[in-house]
A and B are shown apart, each in its own frame.
Chain A
Amino acid sequence: MTESCAAPIPFAALVEYWCGELDAAAEARIEEHFLGCASCSAALQSLAALSSGVRAAFREGALHAAISAPFLEEMKRQGLRLREYRVAPGESVHCTIAASDDAVISRLQAPLVGIGRLDLVSMNERGELRYRLEDIPFDPEAGEVIFCPATAALKQHPVRIYRFRLLAVGADGERTLGDYTFIHTPS
């Protein structure tokens, strides 16, 4: 149990501090406060633990996520071993993952300019729904969705066919931007 603080640093300010978004004066005020405050330093420690936990979970392949091209470059810069598969709409690709790989990257090509909401649907080889990821983030100018599946689970899978579908969702319904097939073979 830590001592309480009469004027705790707001959580939003702690986050901006941790992410390096404050000016020098605001940063110094926060640092002088938490260096003398058990309660606020404990709050900052909780935030630091969450941020390192997110980093570790992603690095260990426990999470799936839609990522950006600059983020993919950052993964390479950090030395992660990656397998990349670039697939055009309607195409299929043979893919695998080795025990030593850190991640598999699916680069789904699609026209994205003008799209408001984008969903990614995953189906098995019979076309049955596995999951639907709603409102995934994307760069409209990129012309592709870069998806990183949860690698840890993927490494356990036997020979399997995965089908992905990108859907543009709008007020007038949804339309398919592309279907993509991954024929997975264990390494």
Chain B
Amino acid sequence: MEVTRGGAASDADLVRTIADAAPVCDSQAEAELYRRLAPRVRLYGLRHLRDIQAAADLTQQVLLMTIEKLRAGALREPEKLASFVLGTCRLVVLDLRRGALRREALLRRYGAAAESEAPAPPDTLERQKLARCLEGLAERERSVLIASFFADKSAAEVGRTLGFSAENARVIRHRALLRLRDCMGVAKEAP
């Protein structure tokens, strides 16, 4: 299958292509689907596991299982790929949490690939720019962001310990993130 950059083939098109090619492997379609899904699954993993390596492990597991199922034609409605991937993510997270999948074994098996999937740290210039943008925030805004993201605290928890309501903490956090996004020049890339 010819896969053009810019999304000419939808995710569902790729699912059909992979299923139709079986038992032959359409490596180009699989690679394109992997390229699209890997960052999304990694975000799911970061959100639920709060660990870059664990998120990379999850990504590898979920995508291997997904592509295996697609080759077998197990996804009868290709438009429901996202729902299928979400279900697989949940299963793998449960397994990871139960310890059924041993981290050491995953690292041995997927270590190199997982490492390559880890998000690249921002370069020095971006870090310096981010630090400058953070310094430009109001004191409450900076404190709320640090408490939210360094300590992974909800608005209710942040508010309780810093002396204001959960709603106030949520408003301060939202305003701070918008200002930070603007300062970093990423505002137009997000909805």
Q: Which of B134-167 contact A (CB under 8 A)?
A: 134-135, 138-140, 142-157, 161-164
User: In the complex, which of the residues A15, A20, A66, A75 contacts B177, with contact meaning CB atoms closer than 8 Å?
Assistant: A15
A135 to B44, CA, bound (A): 36
B112 at the A interface (CB under 8 A): no
Q: Which residue of B lies closest to A21 (CB)?
A: B154
Inter-chain contact A139/B43, CB cutoff 8 Å: no
Collect the chain A residues with CB atoms within 8 Å of residue B150's CB: 54-55, 58-59, 71, 74-75
A58 to B138, CA, bound (A): 16
A34 to B41, CA, bound (A): 9
Interface size on A, residues (CB 8 A): 64
Tell me the interface secondary structure of chain B in the complex.
helix
Given that A57-B127, A134-B139 are known contacts, is A50 also in contact with B191, CB under 8 Å in the complex? no
B72 at the A interface (CB under 8 A): no
A120 to B32, CA, bound (A): 54
Indicate the size class of the contact surface on chain B.
35 or more
Inter-chain contact B190/A139, CB cutoff 8 Å: no
A110 at the B interface (CB under 8 A): no
Per-position contact with B for A32-67: 1 when CB-CB < 8 Å, else 0?
Answer: 111111111111111111111111111100110111
Residues of B within 8 A of A (CB): 6-7, 11, 36-37, 39-41, 43-44, 46-47, 81-83, 85-86, 89, 119, 121-122, 126-127, 130-131, 134-135, 138-140, 142-157, 161-164, 170, 173-174, 177-178, 180-181, 184, 186, 189-191
